[in-house]
Structure 1
């Protein structure tokens, strides 16, 4: 069995909450609640399982499946009878027929003299299918669970619904602390797969840091070996994870899926997305992009500069989903009939140019974590700049705020193509674009996969430095 990699920060948060429960045992309300959210297949359940394994405390782990209220209750009772809670046999004897009664019985079997953990996974299904579930949960917490030394973990993949659970106008407001579980970071991926820094960033762009996909990557294998193996396996996590996530989040009749595919294949402007999605109306597209941005699947970004702009552009936020939509989804029929070699050849042809743009959001996030570093100041906002015609395009804009800044802190270019270093030609282009948006001598920065061969830059960063930003977490 492959060892558990990363998640040190998340495990520390859970251990700290558990310790708080333990320290408060005997007080009036020792219970603690954490609202854990993260995209599907990001490893939330595995994280909780690892925490329970290390804690070795009485626990119940129930996962909702999207069934009827009666079916979900039956599954809860079954999970309770198979739990490690003392007195769990009461669930087999009494079998409550209502959720309120099930919560009361659960509170009865929670130990008074030592901490326990109760996990309810995929809470949004219960919020959606069970009438007044949030109100019943709130009453059970206030009157029962919070009075026991229990850590209640409410876990969910629908980010917007999990955020709503704790919003001010909902019954469970301020009952729990929010915890976001993201994908494995580039450092974790590099360690797990035994990859050098540049290759670790490549793996991040392909896997998105999803543990299930990373687990299928043989340590030390390069990306082409991994892609060949995955494309030869029709049930590989690389192929099926996105499809399952999209099916869960967007029903077949939802236009959001079509719009997402248009964005994923490279369309970034409103007009081009509408055309690629089949010529849908302005209203329909607006509704679809609102859904996608609310769910955090798509980012709608404006140019970052000293002047306002309406040139909004859209991108898929998850690197793996972006890769899947660009290279795999359009050719699933080809892969399923055993011709993954054709798909692999197509990826090879487009990989360098696709990677050059796909890496930009990851570079921006890396710099946001890295700065200040003694050369550049901390930048409250790091984005990009473009015009409608793209005659001026700047990969990195550091500023005091976004999207309209009062002060530009630095401007930069990302060169992640092929094996060529950032050279005088690239510097001249960056200087020309700087002159188009400001007369000030704003510091210039280069981020290059293959080094820098010119002078005149205030700061330079390569894969090693960017990876260092993630080691701080």
Structure 2
């Protein structure tokens, strides 16, 4: 059994909130609330379970299932019955039939003189299915629950709805502190799987840092060994996680799924996405991209430069989903008839070119975490630059703000090839592209998987340096 890896910072945050509850037992409102959000299958429930196992105090863990208000209440009764709350039997005796009554009874059975934890998972389901749920929760928290030494964890996968729960015009505003759980980062993956830095970044692009997928990666195994094993197993987490997540968020007939497929298979511009999605109307496409962006499934980006641009580009925000849409989703029938070998050959043929673009957002985020250093200042914005015709394309643009900057801090190129270093030819191309963007001698940098063999750069970074940006986060 694998040890729990990569969430020590989050566990410390939860632990600090719990200690505040424990120490505040004598105050009028010792209760604390945390709103924990993160994409599906990123490990929110596992994190909470690990936290509960470390605290070893009475707790309730209730997970909403998306049913009716009555069905959810029945599930809550069952969860209380199987909890470790000392007076849980009272719930079975009184069997509340309304959510207000359930919250009131829950407050009554929580200990008065010792700390406890209440977890409500998949809160967006309750917000969506139960009339006035947020108002009932707010009243129960203000009048009852917060007066007990309890840590209330409200957990959800719908990022926009969880953000809305704490927004200024909603009943629960400022009742809880927000906490975002991301995927396992490249340093976590390196430690968990025993991979060298370059291989850890490859693993991050394929797994997206999703713990369930990483758990199926054998210690020290190569990318191709992992893919071969996963493609031979039709129920592997690599194959099924994306479909399950999409099914939970988008019905099969939703136009958003067709738009997402078009973006995932490489279309980046509005016109090309519309064409690839079946020639849909621009108003329909706008609606679909808005939904996808609101749910943080896609990113819509503009070039970072000194002049405004309308050349918006779209990409799938989650690396794993991007990989799945590009290589696995189009060929699921092939994989299901046990011909994953064909899929694997196709991935090998296209891997280098696909990875070269897919790694760019991860490189930008790594640099944002790494800077400032001895060579470059901190960059409030790190993006890219492109023109409509792509005759000028710059992988890395560090600036004081985005998309329209007042000052460019550096320009750079990403060369992520196995056996080819960044050389004078690449440097000449970078100089040419800089001249198309600015007349100023903005510092030039290179990020290369296989090193740099030319002079004239302000800074250079490889997988090892980038991985250090994630250690301790």
Question: Where do 1:387-426 residues align within 5 Å?
Answer: 387-426=387-426
Q: Which runs of 5+ in 2 are unaligned?
A: none
In structure 2, what is the Cα distance between the partners aligned to 1:426 and 1:77?
64
| C-alpha displacement of 1:118 | 0.1
In structure 1, what is the Cα distance between the partners aligned to 2:470 and 2:113?
40
Q: Which residue is equivalent to 2:455?
A: 455
In structure 2, what is the Cα distance between the partners aligned to 1:444 and 1:110?
60
Q: Which residue is equivalent to 1:276?
A: 276
Q: Which residue is equivalent to 1:303?
A: 303
In structure 2, what is the Cα distance between the partners aligned to 1:466 and 1:447?
9
Q: Which residue is equivalent to 1:24?
A: 24
Please give the per-residue CA displacement for 1:389-428, whole angstroms capped at 9, x wherever unaligned.
Answer: 0000000000000000000000000000231000000000
Contact 1:353-1:417 within 8 A present in 2 as well: no
In structure 2, what is the Cα distance between the partners aligned to 1:452 and 1:368?
21
Q: Which residue is equivalent to 2:240?
A: 240
| C-alpha displacement of 1:92 | 1.5
| C-alpha displacement of 1:283 | 0.2
Q: Which residue is equivalent to 1:435?
A: 435
- Indicate whether 1:82 and 2:114 are aligned: no
Q: Which residue is equivalent to 2:67?
A: 67
Question: Where do 1:84-99 residues align within 5 Å?
Answer: 84-99=84-99
In structure 1, what is the Cα distance between the partners aligned to 2:35 and 2:129?
19
In structure 2, what is the Cα distance between the partners aligned to 1:218 and 1:97?
48
In structure 2, what is the Cα distance between the partners aligned to 1:185 and 1:303?
26
- Indicate whether 1:262 and 2:262 are aligned: yes
| C-alpha displacement of 1:166 | 0.5
Question: Where do 1:368-383 residues align within 5 Å?
Answer: 368-383=368-383
- Indicate whether 1:321 and 2:346 are aligned: no
TM score, norm. by length of structure 1:
1.00
Task: Give SS of 1:11's match.
Answer: helix
In structure 2, what is the Cα distance between the partners aligned to 1:334 and 1:232?
11
Q: Which residue is equivalent to 1:180?
A: 180
Please give the per-residue CA displacement for 1:87-109, whole angstroms capped at 9, x wherever unaligned.
Answer: 01111211111111111111011
Please give the per-residue CA displacement for 1:11-51, whole angstroms capped at 9, x wherever unaligned.
Answer: 01100100111111011000000000000000000000000
In structure 1, what is the Cα distance between the partners aligned to 2:245 and 2:317?
14
Moved more, 137-146 or 248-257: 248-257
In structure 1, what is the Cα distance between the partners aligned to 2:296 and 2:61?
27
TM score, norm. by length of structure 2:
1.00
Please give the per-residue CA displacement for 1:296-327, whole angstroms capped at 9, x wherever unaligned.
Answer: 11100000000100000000000000000000
In structure 2, what is the Cα distance between the partners aligned to 1:282 and 1:110?
54
Task: Give SS of 2:470's match.
Answer: helix
- Indicate whether 1:110 and 2:110 are aligned: yes
Q: Which residue is equivalent to 2:253?
A: 253
Task: Give SS of 1:71's match.
Answer: helix
- Indicate whether 1:133 and 2:115 are aligned: no
In structure 2, what is the Cα distance between the partners aligned to 1:126 and 1:419?
52
In structure 1, what is the Cα distance between the partners aligned to 2:340 and 2:49?
35
Please give the per-residue CA displacement for 1:109-131, whole angstroms capped at 9, x wherever unaligned.
Answer: 10011110000000000001111
In structure 2, what is the Cα distance between the partners aligned to 1:10 and 1:280?
43
| C-alpha displacement of 1:2 | 1.1
| C-alpha displacement of 1:472 | 3.8
Q: Which runs of 5+ in 1 are unaligned?
A: none
